[in-house]
Amino acid sequence: MPTEPTEHAGGPTAREEELAAAFVELADTLVADFDIMDFLHLLTERAVALLPVDAAGVVLLDARGRLVDASASDERTRQLELAQIEWEEGPCRDCTRTGSAVPYTLLDAPEARARWPRFTGWALARGFAGVAGMPLRLRERSVGALNVFRCCREAPSRTELRLGQALADVATIGILQYRTLRDQSLVDERLEDALGSRVVIEQAKGVLAERLHVSLDESFERLRARARDRRVPLTDLARAVIDGRADVAEPADPSPPGS
């Protein structure tokens, strides 16, 4: 669990500055080169950084109301998100369909096994002990959900879970604000294209992992860092990698932009 920051008289703590920066990042969707895939990965990144959790994943509803794998903090979590969609069971699915949070749940508890029989087995086999879900929801409208996972059995505090929901809420506002300020049909089409581009990104990850002999997580971080460095859309760079038109050999900078 994160160490409590030291108080500084007359000024914000490092923790408060980190929280403020995260909320500003997640609210800033009005830039001309807004990249929704990078934005959703940022949400999972900040959830892991700010909450006492080990992994996070996001699913969204597409324009047809189908649940779609959107982003995850690492590859094993992405596999769990895909499993939830395929098996039609799991906390992200429940959150999205009901618009209500799933409280922290131990995956080996009888009620969890009864509710999500296949999902719990997969999650336990991958080292996770508990999960919580936060809907991406504004009033009555639900557009997806944020899942957070822990490898230990201790539950996050209510305050920490409320912070997770606040991150989900501000991300939802950002997505819906982006939609509202543009032609709705065009944004739906772009969102559909962005979610479909996940296939291209996954292909590029595989190409890089094989070419550079690194993990899928490392290949994605290199791809994402290079896209930000060159100021090009993540999907465009992914296509260039697949076609052999881009070289992403250098390791990704582990520090967040602007740090």
Q: HEC profile for 181-250?
A: CCCHHHHHHHHHHHHHCHHHHHHHHHHHHHHHCCCHHHHHHHHHHHHHHHCCCHHHHHHHHHHCCCCCCC
Count Cα neighbours of 189 within 13 Å in the Cβ-side half-sphere: 5
Phi, psi of 221 (to 5 degrees): -60, -40
Compute the distance between CA of residue 177 and CA of residue 174 in angstroms, rounded to an integer. Answer: 5
Model pLDDT, residue 61: 84
Compute the distance between CA of residue 41 and CA of residue 8 in angstroms, rounded to an integer. Answer: 32
Compute the distance between CA of residue 53 and CA of residue 39 in angstroms, rounded to an integer. Answer: 19
What stretches of 51-157 show up as alpha helix (H) in DSSP?
75-87, 91-98, 110-115, 117-125
Model pLDDT, residue 89: 93
Model pLDDT, residue 188: 59
CATH 3.30.450.40 is held by the domain 15-182: yes
Q: Which amino acid is at 34?
A: F
Measured CA angle at 65 (ends 60, 68), to 5 deg: 35
Compute the distance between CA of residue 202 and CA of residue 206 in angstroms, rounded to an integer. Answer: 6
Q: Give the Cβ contact number of residue 28 at 10 Å.
A: 11
Cα–chain-centroid distance for residue 149? 12
Model pLDDT, residue 10: 52
Phi, psi of 256 (to 5 degrees): -70, 150
Compute the distance between CA of residue 232 and CA of residue 236 in angstroms, rounded to an integer. Answer: 7
- What are the residues facing 150 on neighbouring strands? 130
Q: What is the pLDDT along the chain (259 residues), one digit of tens a residue?
A: 444 444 444 556 887 788 877 777 776 765 556 777 888 888 999 999 999 999 999 998 877 888 888 889 999 999 999 998 899 999 988 999 899 999 999 999 999 999 999 999 999 999 999 999 999 988 878 889 999 999 999 999 999 999 999 999 888 887 777 666 555 555 555 566 666 677 888 888 898 888 888 999 998 888 888 888 888 888 888 888 888 887 776 554 444 334 3
Note the CATH number of domain 199-243.
Answer: 1.10.10
Residues 6+ apart with CB under 8 A from 209: 215, 216, 218, 219
Every domain of the chain and the residues it spans: 15-182, 199-243
Model pLDDT, residue 256: 39
Compute the distance between CA of residue 26 and CA of residue 170 in angstroms, rounded to an integer. Answer: 6
Model pLDDT, residue 6: 46
By C-alpha distance, which of 108, 83, 183, 97 is closest to 133?
Answer: 97
For residue 95, with 0-12 CB atoms within 10 Å meaning exposed, 13-18 middle and 19 or more buried, which class applies?
Answer: buried
Compute the distance between CA of residue 230 and CA of residue 122 in angstroms, rounded to an integer. Answer: 38
Model pLDDT, residue 257: 38
